[in-house]
Copies of this chain bind each other. A is one copy, B any other.
Amino acid sequence: MKNSFEFSVLFGGKAGDGIRQLGILWAKLLCRRGLKTFLYDDYPSLIRGGHNFSIVRAAEFPISAHRDQVNVIVALNEETIRRHQQRLSENGVVLCDQEIPEAQKAPSAQITVPWAQIVKELSAPKIMRNTAALASLVRFCQIPWEELAQTLRELAKTELNLSVAQKSYELSEKGHVDFPSKDKNQAFFFGNEAIALGAAAAGLKVFLAYPMTPASSILHYLAAHRERLGINVIHPENEIAAVLAAIGAAYAGSPAMTATSGGGFALMVEALSLAGQAEIPLVIVECQRPGPSTGVPTYTMQGDLEFVLTAGHGEFPRVVLAPGDAQEAFELTAEALRLAWRYQTPVLVLSDKHLSESLFSQNLPQQFARVEYKAWSGGQTYARYAFSEDGVSPLAFPGRKDAIVKATSYEHDPFGLTTEEPTQIARMQEKRLRKEEGLKRETEKMVGVFNRDAPVALLCFGSTKGAAVEIAERLGLRLVRPLVLRPFPTQTLQKALKGADRIIVCETNATGQLAKLLAFHGFRVDQKILKYNGRPFSVDELYERVKELL
């Protein structure tokens, strides 16, 4: 790694211990110190009990992946120590509750603090042990009390939290880490928050979603902020209603989006095809998790790529975008809305649990895409599906006096009336498919390239970016990442891969879907690194896997 400060902490406990919240507060506190942070959250599909852990990595340089080794383990239960102590780096320390019986026996350096007792004494709910633990960590890292207090004041909000923290801070001991502090606050976003904000920034006005891990937090975020963002946020009876109401809203003039995971997306496929035929600007976010079917709902996999590329009966233009971190999630979701409206066709944003539910500290761009469309300028009789060179017809919305706006799922003539006439059918198919040319032109450049001249090229898409980018830097590899998967940016990739001796594809699925897509487009794939146990690549693991092949 870079010769620069970095520091990882693992927080572990049972579901219901507030592990995630603890990690988030720590990450945010460090962001406010100007550090870059990344939070990886690992939790089973249950509400209380089981074993949850979060790894928060912080560094002075940009990061968007976690490491297996950690400097500190904050253990809210014994199991955490047992499961994770092999992760501790040299000089690593375990922070844990005095009450943990095993604590004394563990081989590593340990600092025990009476968190449970503090909470009890202050009559705070037991979950506030997490605040106590945070305070011990802050103290251990020699971060001034005032910083913690301020973070808690702004983010956790209750006085009781503060008291618990203060007490624990006092009872905890300093460590030897010298935590740096920079001037500039770092912004922080979960992947799904970045998706939500990207959509909102581009002009989203209606969001509908049925809950499904790992997409639900888009719904939760937008619902919590709907008044502030000026967006209608609706949780309907099922995914079919969600996508069809989004289609209805878009037809009537409101930029609309829905979000789901693979199983929910499967239910939206009939409507996707409708959006293709009726030329509706529709954005669907698909946050992947391990399948098939219910699979492993709270873990990660990039197993739905091939599915989303060709889902839907019949032939129609579509775009599939795959962001790799929060910043890209923001930009590409905004772009998704822009493209959907510019071309009046469905656009998919493909995420996965690892992107959607990890926390990134990144800045969002000042410039971003916004919804724009070819508006009908009035005049003659309005024809919703008027032929045009680029396949895009001028748009008018129902409600204006001078237009009759007829959308339809049937093959149709320019006015939107049903046709079964062979020439008309062929012409309309061609009209719609013509949009692919414009889409191709606009998306052709969407490839991320790093170390352009290195002889060995690593290829990946989506959330694998985080680990891959560090490996590429560390090992001097070229990193090439298509951000758009349909249309496929063949020319740009050809340029990006020019002169590469070796092409290694890495992705988190069992059959190498990106590799297949590359092969389909005529690219040579020399080696594949696949992972399909539901876990993302950590920096260290990907390093080992790549090293093996070199």
CB contact list, A261-281 vs B, under 8 A: 261-263, 265-267, 269-270, 272-274, 276-278
Whether the Cβ atoms of A277 and B295 lie closer than 8 Å is yes
Judge if A304 is at the interface, Cβ distance under 8 Å.
yes
Residues on the B chain within 8 Å of A426, using CB: 510, 532-533
Rounded to whole angstroms, the CA-CA distance of A533 and B429 in the bound complex is: 8
- The residue of chain B having its C-beta at the shortest distance from the C-beta of A294 within the complex is B409
CB contact list, A406-420 vs B, under 8 A: 408-411, 419-420
Residues on the B chain within 8 Å of A411, using CB: 290, 294-296, 534
- A263-B273, A273-B292 given; A303·B299 CB < 8 A: no
Segment touching B, from A4-12, A54-62, A312-320, A490-498: A312-320
Residues on the B chain within 8 Å of A290, using CB: 314, 411, 425
Judge if A226 is at the interface, Cβ distance under 8 Å.
no
Whether the Cβ atoms of B296 and A420 lie closer than 8 Å is yes
Whether the Cβ atoms of B292 and A313 lie closer than 8 Å is yes
Rounded to whole angstroms, the CA-CA distance of A519 and B520 in the bound complex is: 7
Rounded to whole angstroms, the CA-CA distance of A429 and B315 in the bound complex is: 31
Known: A290-B411, A293-B314. 9 other contacts (CB 8 A): A263-B273, A276-B291, A277-B294, A291-B315, A306-B310, A307-B310, A422-B533, A425-B533, A426-B510
Judge if A80 is at the interface, Cβ distance under 8 Å.
no
CB contact list, A430-449 vs B, under 8 A: 430, 432-433
Rounded to whole angstroms, the CA-CA distance of A419 and B293 in the bound complex is: 14
CB contact list, A195-253 vs B, under 8 A: none
Judge if A516 is at the interface, Cβ distance under 8 Å.
yes
Whether the Cβ atoms of A510 and B312 lie closer than 8 Å is no
Tell me how far the C-beta of A318 lies from the nearest C-beta in chain B, rounded to whole angstroms.
10
- The residue of chain B having its C-beta at the shortest distance from the C-beta of A46 within the complex is B420
Number of A residues whose C-beta is below 8 Å from B?
A: 64
Whether the Cβ atoms of A291 and B313 lie closer than 8 Å is yes
Whether the Cβ atoms of A510 and B315 lie closer than 8 Å is yes
Whether the Cβ atoms of A44 and B409 lie closer than 8 Å is no
Judge if A311 is at the interface, Cβ distance under 8 Å.
yes
Judge if A45 is at the interface, Cβ distance under 8 Å.
yes
Contact with B along A508-550 (1 / 0, CB 8 A): 0111010010011000000000001111000000000000000
Tell me how far the C-beta of A307 lies from the nearest C-beta in chain B, rounded to whole angstroms.
5
Residues on the B chain within 8 Å of A292, using CB: 273-274, 276-277, 312-316, 432
Judge if A395 is at the interface, Cβ distance under 8 Å.
no
Judge if A309 is at the interface, Cβ distance under 8 Å.
yes
Rounded to whole angstroms, the CA-CA distance of A338 and B292 in the bound complex is: 23
A contact set with B: CB distance below 8 Å: 44-45, 261-263, 265-267, 269-270, 272-274, 276-278, 288, 290-296, 298-299, 301, 303-304, 306-307, 309-316, 408-411, 419-420, 422-423, 425-426, 429-430, 432-433, 509-511, 513, 516, 519-520, 532-535
Residues on the B chain within 8 Å of A423, using CB: 533
Tell me how far the C-beta of A274 lies from the nearest C-beta in chain B, rounded to whole angstroms.
4
Whether the Cβ atoms of A313 and B266 lie closer than 8 Å is yes
Q: List 6 A-B contacts (CB under 8 A).
A: A273-B292, A293-B314, A315-B511, A422-B533, A426-B510, A429-B510
Whether the Cβ atoms of B266 and A273 lie closer than 8 Å is yes
Residues on the B chain within 8 Å of A294, using CB: 274, 277, 408-411
Residues on the B chain within 8 Å of A288, using CB: 313
Whether the Cβ atoms of B532 and A429 lie closer than 8 Å is yes
- A294-B409, A310-B306, A420-B299 given; A425·B278 CB < 8 A: no
A313 CB contact (under 8 Å) in B304, B410, B516: B304
Whether the Cβ atoms of B278 and A293 lie closer than 8 Å is yes
- A44-B420, A433-B511 given; A307·B303 CB < 8 A: no
- A262-B273, A293-B276, A420-B296 given; A307·B311 CB < 8 A: yes
Tell me how far the C-beta of A267 lies from the nearest C-beta in chain B, rounded to whole angstroms.
5
Rounded to whole angstroms, the CA-CA distance of A177 and B298 in the bound complex is: 73
Whether the Cβ atoms of B520 and A422 lie closer than 8 Å is no
Residue of A274, A294, A409 with most chain B CB atoms under a 10 A cut-off = A294
Residues on the B chain within 8 Å of A296, using CB: 410-411, 419-420, 425
Residues on the B chain within 8 Å of A520, using CB: 516, 519-520
Whether the Cβ atoms of A314 and B299 lie closer than 8 Å is no
Rounded to whole angstroms, the CA-CA distance of A274 and B295 in the bound complex is: 9
Rounded to whole angstroms, the CA-CA distance of A513 and B425 in the bound complex is: 18
Residues on the B chain within 8 Å of A274, using CB: 292-294
Whether the Cβ atoms of B310 and A303 lie closer than 8 Å is no
Rounded to whole angstroms, the CA-CA distance of A283 and B465 in the bound complex is: 39
A303 CB contact (under 8 Å) in B315, B419, B509, B511: B315
Whether the Cβ atoms of B266 and A312 lie closer than 8 Å is yes
Tell me how far the C-beta of A542 lies from the nearest C-beta in chain B, rounded to whole angstroms.
16
Residue of A277, A290, A309, A513 with most chain B CB atoms under a 10 A cut-off = A290
Rounded to whole angstroms, the CA-CA distance of A274 and B423 in the bound complex is: 41
Whether the Cβ atoms of A310 and B313 lie closer than 8 Å is no
Residues on the B chain within 8 Å of A301, using CB: 314
Residues on the B chain within 8 Å of A534, using CB: 411, 420, 422, 425
Residues on the B chain within 8 Å of A299, using CB: 420, 425
